[in-house]
A and B are shown apart, each in its own frame.
Chain A
Amino acid sequence: MTDFTATNTPHEASMGDYFALMKPRVMSLVVFTALVGLLVAPVPVHPFIGFVGILCIAVGAGASGALNMWWDADIDARMKRTAGRPIPSGRVQPGEALGIGLALSGFSVVLLALATNFFAAALLAFTIFFYAVVYSMWLKRATPQNIVIGGAAGAFPPMVGWAVATGGASIESLLMFALIFMWTPPHFWALALFVKSDYGNAGVPMLTETHGRDATRNHILVYTVLLVPVALGLGLTSIGGPVYMAVAVVMNAWFLKGAYDIWRRDDAACEADKHKTEIAVFKVSLYYLFAHFGALLLEAALHLYDLGGW
């Protein structure tokens, strides 16, 4: 018998496995914040060009996710949460992930440049570089401040969305960046306090393990306090207004109270109520970001009817 049968591959990668390389859940947040950045900008964009712009940003984010999975395959295999990802589970070969990551990076940046402008494309290229190289390759395994600086990668999308419309940056887009940048550490550390992580086994320094849980609680409070002026400052710009300000005041008070509640607790209290406060604050942090960007969108919608704004 001379027929060729390719049966020696344990798993045949499906389209879904390749899609999973792109971290769809991260991509959804990127799409939301980039869309808000695009829609609140003072320059109108043709709907189709706006759609292509957002698509490019989403694909660029997915490409950096694939590059991250390629680079981190060794540590992903050692952690329970990530062991089922396409590369450690053997469904996708590392080289495939690298190829997809590089190809989609190039594709998204070039198409964004052609469809919109070079500034937006350069910013997207820098975002991909920041996540794949600065965060994944340099910081993640080197310092417990990894997510503080790495958080910048997740903060760029609204700036790119704004750049798609305006072709540049401004105080408004920088403050949208700063909002996500300052929000990421308390959000992530609240999660780190209640999730039993195995980052230690994988050799990834996490603040909870390198400096202890009390130090993490201090960090959460400090970063949340620093986040407040950024969130309120954004409300004073041209894209803010009374609606945004009202939302920001309520959400910041809520988040600040949560950070203070966490700060007052110790490990015994956490164990006693099974991290009830930490879980609650983590949820508040999710509402926090959604509410701020939702309020910006609402202000932009009100502007259409000559309402909203200052």
Chain B
Amino acid sequence: MAIEVEHELHERRKGRNYGVGLLLIGFIAIVFGLTVVKVLQLGDAGQFERADHVVRPQIIPVDEVAE
């Protein structure tokens, strides 16, 4: 007997699988959208550079560099 790649279980559960897929896509869209909105609400997104634990000479105020 030939092995069927498409088992009838796949056919029967197609609706559910598509449903779960759509829910996951929706969840990703929500998290992505929230991230965009929350970051934009911060105003100056460039300020994030201050918190990435890496020395960035370009964000050190000029008078401090002179000292």
Question: A255 vs B20: C-alpha distance in the bound complex, in angstroms?
Answer: 45
- For window 38-84 of A, CB contacts with B under 8 Å fall at 46, 48-49, 52, 55
Cβ contacts under 8 Å, A8 to chain B? none
Q: Check B42 for interface membership: any CB of A closer than 8 A.
A: no
Cβ contacts under 8 Å, B8 to chain A? 5
Interface of B is mostly: helix
**Interface residue count on the A side (C-beta < 8 Å):** 18
Q: Check B37 for interface membership: any CB of A closer than 8 A.
A: yes
Partner of A6, one of B1, B9, B30: B9
Q: Check B15 for interface membership: any CB of A closer than 8 A.
A: yes
Cβ contacts under 8 Å, A49 to chain B? 34, 37
Given contacts A1-B1, A46-B41, contact A12 B34 (CB under 8 A): no
Given contacts A3-B1, A5-B8, contact A14 B15 (CB under 8 A): yes
Task: Give chain B's interface residues, CB within 8 Å of chain A.
Answer: 1, 7-9, 12-13, 15-16, 18-19, 30, 33-34, 37, 41
Task: Give chain A's interface residues, CB within 8 Å of chain B.
Answer: 1, 3-6, 12-15, 18, 46, 48-49, 52, 55, 111, 114-115
A-B contacts, 13 listed (Cβ < 8 Å): A1-B1, A5-B9, A12-B12, A12-B13, A14-B15, A15-B19, A48-B33, A48-B34, A48-B37, A49-B34, A52-B30, A52-B33, A55-B30
